Amino acid sequence: MSSSPRFRRIATAAVSALVLLALLVVGTQLQVPYAALGPGPTLNTLGTTKVEQDGKVVERRVVQIDGAPLDKTTGNLNLTTVSVSDGLTLFDALGMWMSGKYALTPRDEVYPPDRTTEQVQEENAQQMTGSEENATVAALRFLDRPTVLRIAGVGADGPSADVLKAGDVVTRVGGVEVETSKELRDVVSKNPPGTVLPLEIVRQGTPQTVSVTLAAHPDDPKAGFLGVAAEVANADPSLKVTYTVGDIGGPSAGMMLALSVVDQLSPGELTHGKFIAGTGTITDDGQVGPIGGITHKTRAAKDAGATVFLVPARNCAEAVSDRPDGIELVKVETLDGAVDALDAIGSGRPAPTC
């Protein structure tokens, strides 16, 4: 005995409803192993930001400089960020991808499986701290203000363990004057393992000369190895630079922070009243390095009102591939080059572009 057409229609509708309900449950509840990357907030390093203090919301300068006369600044020098959306359901991921503003990436690339979310956030915070320190030093060196090269740490089992101490200020190595960590590495690595290398240092205010027998570098057995971590630091105790960037992490704000310090401590205006945005890591000797998410950052800058975007040279090809309309992409390799480019733009001269 065959089913009536009405019964078959009811059964088909019921099955369809169940399938639709299952899809809705899966789509709204099942998390996918992807994160969405998109344009993040931008922050004017010449301006102020709101922070909570003692239960109240107060305004602070993003880059606060004390102990030196400051020059007037106008315009914007905005650092840029990438937003990360995690814990996405299937429908969340599809909606963000279809919007055209976000890119999906495997979650493991953002939050590696061998680290917790909290550990990744702590690492990002540490990278920001290092970026701030490099920004200060790079700016002070650009401005010919005093800095020192000092030992930040000594490897317990390394060749310097019984010779150098954290806090030692290094002035010469093998008779060569050194001012940055890179210069120190370059001098040391040119000497073969086993070389007894003299170092002129200042320890607790007392100049002295010590000698270290170099070991072999872990990555190059023919190069000498000192076994220390060195850093460049501000040598003027009256000058203090502090940064308030909120919960922004990672190293990519370094160049924009350094430009803010330069602008505030030097005559004239780097922006010439324009809205400048940018990104890039920075070393203590002013080298600008590449970052991730450049197209998200240029889009965020354009949405915020920027007309010029400073791009690390190694990010240029990617930046050009998805350039927002109405924004000039300026290629930057060093802090000096960034300042020169902004001077050129302000005076109507061509700047290096991507």
Of the candidates 75, 50, 80, 74, the one whose C-alpha atom is nearest the C-alpha of residue 62 is 50
Element (H, E) at 36: strand 34-44
Residue 41 φ then ψ, to 5°: -65, 155
Tokens at 227, concatenated: 């076994």
CA 93 from centroid of its chain's CA atoms: 27
d(CA 197, CA 178): 14
- Residues paired with 169 in a beta bridge: 150, 202
Question: Which class for 80: exposed (0-12), middle (13-18), buried (19 or more C-beta within 10 A)?
Answer: buried
Interstrand relation of 281-282 and 288-289 (parallel, antiparallel or unpaired): antiparallel
Q: Which of 131, 274, 297, 331 is catalytic?
A: 297
Q: Which of 252, 260, 302, 331 is catalytic?
A: 252
What is the residue-wise DSSP string for 113-159? Answer: TTS-HHHHHHHHHHHHHHHHHHHHHHHHHHTT--EEEEEEEE-TTST
**First vs last Cα of the chain: how many Å apart?**
76
Tell me whether residue 297 is one of the annotated catalytic residues.
Answer: yes
d(CA 222, CA 195): 11
Say if residues 300 and 80 touch (Cβ distance below 8 Å): yes
Tell me whether residue 274 is one of the annotated catalytic residues.
Answer: no
d(CA 60, CA 47): 8
What is the residue-wise DSSP string for 272-323? Answer: TT-EEEE--EE-TT-BEE--S-HHHHHHHHHHHT-SEEEEEGGGHHHHHHTP
Catalytic annotation, residues: 252, 297
